[in-house]
Amino acid sequence: MADVGGTLEFDDVAIRSRLPKGLPSFIPQVDGSGVGDLDAVLGWPAYAVGLRRVFSPQTHAVYPRWDKPATDVLGLPATTLTVLSGYGEDPLVEAFWTARHRDRLLDRLATLEFDLVLAPNYSIYGNWPRAEHLINMRRSLLLAEEFVNAGMPAVPNLYWFRLEDLQRYAAWIADAAPPAVAINLQTVRENKNWETWALPGLSWLAENIPDDLPIIITGLSRRDRITTAVDLFGTRLTLVSQNPAQYALHGAVMTSEGRKDMHARIPDAFASSVRYLASLLPEGGN
C-alpha cells in the first residue's frame, strides 16, 4: 500500500501527454532485430517493440544495445514512429516495477526517444484476493504517470475484473482526460475468455467513455475479433500485433482464409501480413 501511495483510488493520477502525429491504425510489433530489412520492403510509418526486448529479465536493466534513440537501434528512418509496448509476463513487469527507481531506469528509457509508450499492465486473476486487483489497477495507472513525468509520451493500460472496475475507469477518464487508453488482449486466446470477459468489457467501454478517445489494443489477430473491435471503436482504434513478425519467421502469411505457408522471404511475408491486417482497419491502417 505504501508503494502505491497509500490509496487505491484513481483521482490523484494525472497523465498529461499526447499521441504522436501520424500514428497508423495498425502497428506491427517486431522483436528488434533486422527491422531495417523489414522496413526496406514495407516502408511502414510505425513499429512497436516489446518490453522484454528492451529491459532484461535477468539483469533488470536496459540491454546495452539500447544506447541511442530507438530508430537508430532498430535501423529505421528518423521519421518512423517507434512504440514501446510495455507488456510482458508477470516476472518481467514485476521486476520492472521494483527496478523503475533504480539507476534512473525511467530516465534511461527516456533517452531512447520512443514516440509512444504503452504502459505495463499488472495482472488480475480471478482467484486472487480483491485487494490485489485494486492494487494492480492503480499500479498500471501510476506507472503510466511516471513514464510521462520522466518525459515520455505514455498512455495507461486498462485491465478489469468486474463492472465496478470499468465504472471506476470511466469516471477517471472523464475527470483526467488521458490522451488515449490501451488494452492488452494478448492472453485472450480462448473463445470463452473473449466472450465472457474481453468482449463485454470492450462493449461497455465503447458506450461509456468519450467517443473521441483513442483506443490502442494489443493482441488481436483474428479477422472476426478485429471486425468486432472496429464496429465498437471505428476510426479511433489502433491495433498493435506481433502476428506478422511471428508468421514471417516461418515464411507464412496471414490472409482472409487464415494462415498460409508460402515459404516466402521473411521481409516479403511480413509485409504481406501487415498490409492484410491493416486492410481490416479503417483507412487501410495508414
Q: What is the pLDDT of residues 165-199, one digit of tens each?
A: 999 999 999 999 999 999 999 988 888 889 999 99
Provide the pLDDT for residue 263: 84
Provide the pLDDT for residue 273: 96
* pTM of the shown model: 0.95
pLDDT tens digits, 57-93: 999 999 999 999 999 999 999 999 999 999 999 999 9
Residue boundaries of the structural domains of the chain = 26-281
pLDDT tens digits, 131-147: 999 999 999 999 999 99
Just give the CATH number of 26-281: 3.20.20.105
Provide the pLDDT for residue 158: 97
106-141 burial by CB neighbour count: b if 16+ within 10 A, else e?
A: beebbebebbbbbbbbbebeeeeeeeebbbbbbbbb
Query: Quick one: average pLDDT of 12-40?
Result: 95
Write the DSSP string, 51-101.
Answer: GGGTB-TTTSSB-TT--S-HHHHHT--TTSEEEEE----HHHHHHHHHHTT
Provide the pLDDT for residue 262: 84
Provide the pLDDT for residue 113: 98
- Answer yes or no: are the C-beta atoms of 265 and 38 closer than 8 Å: no
**Paired residues of 49 in beta bridges:** 30, 84
Whether the per-residue pLDDT at 283 is higher than 80: the answer is no
With bands split at pLDDT 50, 70 and 90, how would you rate the model's confidence at 102?
confident
pLDDT tens digits, 221-254: 899 999 999 999 999 999 999 999 999 999 999 9
With bands split at pLDDT 50, 70 and 90, how would you rate the model's confidence at 271?
very high
Provide the pLDDT for residue 211: 94
Provide the pLDDT for residue 214: 97
